[in-house]
Amino acid sequence: MRDHRWGRIAAGVVLAAGCLACGDSEKPRKKSALDDDEPAAPMSSEERARSRQEDATKLCAKLQAAGAKEAMEPHAFEIDEEFYADGGAEEKNTCAKLLVVLQRDAPATYWKLAECARNEDKARSCASDVKYNDEGYKKSIETLKEETKRDKIEKLAQITLLKTTPVVFKVRSYGDERTVTLDLPANLNEGSDSLPAFIQWKETSDAKKGPSLSVRDRYSMPTLEDALRSASSDKVIKQEKTDQGYVLATETSYSLEVSVVQKLPPSDYSQPAMECEARFADSRAIAAKDKIIPWLEKLCTMKISK
Highest mean pLDDT among 31-45, 58-72, 176-190, 206-220: 58-72
Same domain, 298 and 193: yes
User: 90: domain range?
Assistant: 47-157
Q: Is residue 126 part of a domain?
A: yes
Q: At residue 252, does pLDDT exceed 80? A: yes
Same domain, 150 and 228: no
pLDDT reported for residue 9: 44
Q: At residue 13, does pLDDT exceed 50? A: no
Same domain, 167 and 144: no
Same domain, 142 and 172: no
Q: Is residue 265 part of a domain?
A: yes
Dump pLDDT digits (tens) for 98-155: 999 999 999 999 999 999 999 888 999 999 999 999 999 999 999 999 998 899 899 8
Spell out the alpha helix ranges (H) of the chain.
Answer: 2-26, 45-65, 69-72, 76-79, 94-105, 107-118, 123-133, 135-157, 224-230, 283-287, 289-299
Same domain, 120 and 236: no
Dump pLDDT digits (tens) for 261-283: 999 888 777 788 899 999 999 88
Q: At residue 288, does pLDDT exceed 70? A: yes
Q: Is residue 144 part of a domain?
A: yes
Same domain, 227 and 244: yes
Q: Domain ends where: 99, 132, 157?
A: 157
Q: Is residue 276 part of a domain?
A: yes
Same domain, 93 and 153: yes
Task: Write down the mean pLDDT value for the chain.
Answer: 83
Q: Domain ends where: 157, 177, 212?
A: 157
pTM over 0.75: no
Q: Domain ends where: 111, 132, 157?
A: 157
DSSP 169: E
Same domain, 114 and 182: no
Q: Is residue 2 part of a domain?
A: no
In this predicted model, which residue has the larger pLDDT, 9 or 302? 302
Contacts of 265 (CB under 8 A, 6+ apart): 176, 272
Same domain, 229 and 272: yes
Q: Is residue 258 part of a domain?
A: yes
Same domain, 170 and 264: yes
Dump pLDDT digits (tens) for 214-232: 998 888 888 899 899 888 7
Q: Is residue 10 part of a domain?
A: no
- For 67-84, b/e burial (b = at least 16 CB within 10 A) is ebbebbbbebebbbbebe
pLDDT reported for residue 276: 94
Whichever domain contains 250, its CATH number is 3.40.1000
Same domain, 207 and 135: no
- For 244-258, b/e burial (b = at least 16 CB within 10 A) is ebbbbbbbeeebbbb
Number of domains the chain is built from: 2
Q: Is residue 9 part of a domain?
A: no
